[in-house]
Each structure stands twice: as C-alpha cells, then as structure tokens.
Amino acid sequence: MATIVGGLTTSHVPALGGAMARGVQGEPYWKPFFDGFAPVHRWLDAVRPDVAVVFYNDHGLNFFLDKMPTFAVGAAAEYRNADEGWGIPTLPPFRGEPGLSWHLIEHLVEREFDITSCQEMLVDHAFTLPLKLFWPQGCPVATVPVAINTVQFPLPSARRCIALGKAVGEAIASWDSDQRVVVIGTGGLSHQLDGARAGFINKPFDLQFMDSLVDDPEWAAQFSIPELVEKAGTQGIELLMWLAARAAVPGPVRKVHGNYHIPISNTAAGMMALEPA
C-alpha cells in the first residue's frame, strides 16, 4: 500500500512567484520568508515522495462564479499552467497520477462526498507556486490537484474540510501502490484584499492556528465560516486547505519545521512541514 510521508503547508501569494522570477529571494523584504524553506528542502530530499496531493483553491482559471464546485479532483495525465495576469512566468506542465486520482474519487464518492471529476484541468498560482517553493529546481513528483471552494459562498465548513482530508488520507493509505505520497495544503494565512478591512492581518490567531495543527488539529472546527472570516480575513479563509492537508496525515504528527513572516504583499505568510510521529 502507499505511504503518506507527511504534510506540507504554505502560502501561495502571487508576489512570491514574481520574486522567484526576478531572483530577489535574498533581498531583506523576501529573505525571512524564503529562508524558511531550506530545512524543508533537506527533509524532502530525505523522504523522497513520489506523488503530491495538493489541496488548493482555484482563482477563476477553471471555475468562476457561475459554476463553482465545492470540491473538485483532477484526474488528468498532466496539468498545464496558464497565464493569470500576475506577470508570473508560466511553468511546464505538471505530471498527473491518474491511478491515484481515480482511486481518490471513487473513495470520496463512496464516503458520500459529491466530487467534480476533472479529466482536463488548468492549474493556477495556488497550485504552481507551492510546488516551486518546495522544489525550486523543478517538480520531480507526480501530482493530484484537489480544489476546495473558498471563493463563492456558501463555503464548506472547517469540519467538512477536515472530513475531506481524512477521507483523502484513507484513500491514499488504501491505494495499491508502493509509492510515497506527500500531502500539501496551500493558501493564507490571515489577509483581506478588499473592503473596509483591506490589509487586515491577525498574527495571534495565525500562530495559534499553526500550533493547533500539531497539538489539536480539529481546533478550528469550533468556528463557523463567518467567524473564521472575522478572525482571518476574507481571503484568510484559505486556511481550509491547511486543515484538509493536516487531516490527511493520520494520527499524531511531529513538526519538522515551521516559518511565519509578515507582511508579504499584505498577507501573513506561513509554512509548515509535518510528519507522522
């Protein structure tokens, strides 16, 4: 059976892609964020995953306000990156793992999740930037995208996203393969890009949330979606992907490394690496 080697979480702010494209990661504004990845690069070199299951949110590349699935799973042989207008260079296609994709889809439907199955799927910065951050020299792993709606209300609750992550973890563990799988959750942390609270960041909440992923992974489920928006900002609700990724890693975990830095383009930017304890 397949093995889950751990879980990774990171912010996916488009400005990070611009910084990497310009080669300015060592400048004072960017250095505290990018320096946090060196220990995780070493960890990935040691655990050597074959596949990454990536929980992310689509920003209108596949789905828009007229058609917005709550959960969607990619089942393609490859995933192409398209121009989103941010000035970020497009990356080569990402290799898919259809065998795991269909196994996930079948398992999730059996667990009564209503999944949109995507045999063609474009991927945006929420998917591509984390893979570039974790593997700067090029993505060596096959991928399975799992999109969670964080754009069009009503959104899935924190508890529902935790349940999704657990079901994905069960599916990976039951996949008849000897491949090693890392689970990635992208987005956040606290930020709000518009309205009266534009620029909102809540560092105490962010740090408590990050700690909870190790010590009490269902802590955030006590809050409704409106309460999480109040605490983390409208776009900070992307923490739902972090919850799903943590829930996919079974049992207690050990924090390999974590990093938190503000601001990155008016966003609280965080990163964590977790492995089974």
Active site residue 107: no
pLDDT by position in tens, the chain (length 277): 999 999 999 999 999 999 999 999 999 999 999 999 999 999 999 999 999 999 999 999 999 989 999 999 999 999 999 888 888 888 899 999 999 999 999 999 999 999 999 999 999 999 999 999 999 999 999 999 999 999 999 999 999 999 999 999 999 999 999 999 999 999 999 999 888 898 899 999 999 999 999 999 999 999 999 999 999 999 999 999 999 999 999 999 999 999 999 988 889 999 999 999 9
Q: Answer whether 261's CB lies under 8 Å from 184's CB.
A: no
Backbone angles phi, psi at 97, to 5 degrees: -135, 80
pTM, two decimals, is 0.97
| 55-84 as b/e: b if 16+ CB within 10 A | bbbbbebbbeeeebbbbbbbbbebbebeeb
- Catalytic residue, chosen from 103, 107, 191, 261, is 191
CATH number of 3-276: 3.40.830.10
Active site residue 59: no
Cα–Cα distances in angstroms (integers) from residue 249 to residues 53, 79, 165, 238, in the given order:
11, 24, 8, 19
Q: Answer whether 248's CB lies under 8 Å from 168's CB.
A: yes
Q: Answer whether 253's CB lies under 8 Å from 246's CB.
A: yes
- Catalytic residue, chosen from 12, 107, 125, 261, is 125
